[in-house]
Structures are given as structure tokens and as C-alpha cells.
A = this chain, B = another copy of it.
């Protein structure tokens, strides 16, 4: 049986409105249940790639297919439902009046019943130790608390594909462990970028190396060695 890819990028480039090149000529296939790590130096295009693969940005050249579809007005909500994106910067992500609203933002849209929502809320706020800040507006949290809320409000609706952009930046060791644990038990596709190689090693078999907007290597974690990393400038 041939498994068809979940997400495909063909000749994808993205140039920001001011002319900066985000990524160029990306060819990539991501298969169901894969765990993919994306690494590369600052500004190499990792976050841009995530926005493209999750259909949040439209490529300026080339084509992205998600679940076999080219995202357009009609199918986009459906695609969104099945994808979760944890942004690199939680300040760009949190916009609800309280942490509670933040967590329930998607469940409410899906019109889950009250009981179910209450349960989810309890479960996730307990796991991520958010009980005491549930009523606070997210912009009044500490850096790591924001990131925690962000991660929790994506995981809470169990999307099929999860993109995690620097999930461990600013979060404490305990939360990091919880995220790793949850991702290990998670039943969907996961794409992670991180500058902390540890989490990539723990979670991903496949690793993609980026440099200057291009994919320079697409390999397995075991084939990755210090020399390559140093050459590309990750170290």
C-alpha cells in the first residue's frame, strides 16, 4: 500500500512584502504520523516554512497541498480544524480576554457541549498548571506562562497535525517534560522547530536542516553529525 503524503510543497518560495526572502524553492512531503524536526540557524526560514505548510501564508511561488487540497476560501476552515500551530512568539498568538477563553476558543467554535468543555479545561489547566491564572488576561502573564497557555490551547482540540515552533523557548524544565511526554503519546503528525536539539532527538526520527531559506538536508536523526551542523552554522 502506498501512503500518500499529508502535506506537500512543490517549488515553494515565499518573499515578504518588503522583499526579504523567507524561503526559496522548497520541495517537501510530510506523511501521516511522521515526526519531523526542522533545524537551522536564526533567520533560515523555519517559521516561514511552518506558516506555509499550515496554510497560513500563501506561497508567492509554487504550491502547497494540505490533505491533498490546495487551500482556498471554501475548504480553509476545514483544514484549520485539522491543523494546530503553536507560534514561536506567544504574543502574536494570544488574543482572548482571559486564559480560559483562550483555551476554549476552538472548542467553543466546534460547539462541544458544556460538560465536555469543562472536562477539557480542567484536564489541560491541571496538566499545565494554569489553574491560578485562568481568569487573567494572557498579556499579563510571564513569558513562559504565555508559551504554556499557547501550547495548551492548541493541544486541547487534538488536531491531526501539530506544528510546534520553538515549544521549549522560555518554558521551565517541568513543562518541557510534559510537552515531550504528550507528544510521545500523541497519535498524529508532529512538526517541530527548535534550537534545542535535545527535544528533536527525543521526538523526531526525520530531521530537516535549513539554511538561508533552503532545505539543505533531509535525513534521519542518526545520520546527523556535529560536522554537518557546524558547517551550516547551527553551532
Interface residues of A (CB under 8 A from B): 16, 18, 20, 40-43, 46-47, 88-89, 91, 133, 136, 140-145, 148, 166, 168-177, 195-197, 229, 233-235
Contact = CB atoms under 8 A, between A and B. Distances in A.
Contacts of A88: 143, 170
B235 A174 contact: yes
Contact of A42 (B91, B136, B144, B229): B144
Most B CB within 10 A of own CB, among A148, A171, A172: A172
A143 B46 CA distance: 10
A41 B173 CA distance: 8
Given A42-B171, A195-B171, A16 B235 contact: no
By DSSP majority rule, is chain A's interface helix, strand, loop, or mixed? loop
A232 to B, nearest CB: 10
Contact of A235 (B142, B169, B173, B197): B173
User: Quick one: copies of this chain in the complex?
Assistant: 2
Contacts of A91: 89, 91
Most B CB within 10 A of own CB, among A18, A89, A195, A234: A195
A86 to B, nearest CB: 12
Q: Which 9 A-B pairs have the closest CB atoms?
A: A42-B144, A169-B169, A173-B235, A41-B172, A88-B143, A43-B142, A42-B172, A169-B170, A43-B145
A234 B173 contact: yes
A41 B128 CA distance: 12
A46 B144 CA distance: 11
B177 A42 contact: no
